[in-house]
């Protein structure tokens, strides 16, 4: 009789230890899985929702999260669209907990140069927001002429003017690390970038 009680108590202790080990293992797996989630995965999981970002230059942009590349995102704010490199964002508000891996290998490799080349082909008039102040402020108006590996050439034209040789005030070479964001000058969109 005493042995029954003793063995029952031993079984209960063993069962409790197993439950604690299992709970600890589940928590460890969850931490490991969470550690593997990238920002781009969280952004893809929040596509189509309204988010708010704070930029390195202090600007705040609220808009619907559209396309997500490996190094950039597109926000739609009213009639304007913004192409924003991840490195220009100080914080995000409104991201959900869902994360999605890239649906294809191509989507995973779409860097900032890919998006800029699409805009160059489209000849879209843009406003380039720089990370530091220039003589005219933080903004340059123009059309992307060429895109290199780590920079692009912007033909600076008056707002609303087409890119023609007689309208080009200057050609500015902008390193990728120097611009905070690109904004559509009108109602054009940035969907030509492929993502």
Read off the pLDDT of residues 100-127 as tens digits, 9 standing for 90 and up: 777 766 665 678 998 999 899 988 889 9
| Contacts of 21 by beta carbon, 8 Å cutoff, 6+ apart | none
The proportion of the chain whose per-residue pLDDT surpasses 70, expressed as a percent, equals 79
CA–CA separation, 47 vs 102, rounded Å? 12
The whole-number pLDDT of residue 58 equals: 82
Q: Compare 177 and 16 and report the one with higher pLDDT.
A: 177
Confidence label for 134 from pLDDT (cuts 50, 70 and 90)? low
The whole-number pLDDT of residue 160 equals: 72
Average pLDDT along the chain? 81
Confidence label for 3 from pLDDT (cuts 50, 70 and 90)? low
Annotate the chain with three-state secondary structure.
CHHHHHHHHHHHHHHHHHHHHHHHHHHHHHHHHHHCCCHHHHHHHCCCCEEEEEECCCCEEEEEEEEECCCEEEEEECCEEEEEEHHHEEEEECCCCCCCCCCCHHHHHCCHHHHHHHHHHHCCEEEEEEEEEECCEEEEEEEEEEECCCEEEEEECCCCCCCCHHHCCEEEEEEHHHEEEEEECCCCCCHHHCC
Confidence label for 31 from pLDDT (cuts 50, 70 and 90)? low
Q: Which of 33-42, 137-146, 158-167, 172-181 has the highest mean pLDDT?
A: 172-181
Q: Mean pLDDT across the stretch 140-169? A: 86
Q: Compare 178 and 14 and report the one with higher pLDDT.
A: 178
The whole-number pLDDT of residue 189 equals: 45
**Shortest CA distance to 152 belongs to which of 189, 125, 113?**
113
End-to-end CA distance of the chain, in Å? 72
Confidence label for 191 from pLDDT (cuts 50, 70 and 90)? very low
Q: Compare 29 and 45 and report the one with higher pLDDT.
A: 45
């Amino acid at each position: 009789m005493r042995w029954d009680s003793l063995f029952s108590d031993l079984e209960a202790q063993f069962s409790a230890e197993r439950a604690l080990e299992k709970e600890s293992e589940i928590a460890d797996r969850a931490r490991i899985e969470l550690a593997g989630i990238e920002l781009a995965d969280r952004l893809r999981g929040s596509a189509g929702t309204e988010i708010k970002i704070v930029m390195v230059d202090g600007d705040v942009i609220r808009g619907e999260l559209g396309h997500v590349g490996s190094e950039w995102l597109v926000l739609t704010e009213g009639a304007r669209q913004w192409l924003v490199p991840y490195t220009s964002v100080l914080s995000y508000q409104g991201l959900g907990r869902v994360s999605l891996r890239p649906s294809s290998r191509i989507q995973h490799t779409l860097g900032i140069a890919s998006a800029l080349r699409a805009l160059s082909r489209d000849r879209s008039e843009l406003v380039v927001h720089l990370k530091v102040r220039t003589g005219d402020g933080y903004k340059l108006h123009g059309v992307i002429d060429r895109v290199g590996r780590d920079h692009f050439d912007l033909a600076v034209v008056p707002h609303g003017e087409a890119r023609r040789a007689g309208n080009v005030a200057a050609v500015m070479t902008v390193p990728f690390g120097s611009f905070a964001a690109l904004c559509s000058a009108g109602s054009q969109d940035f969907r030509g970038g492929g993502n």
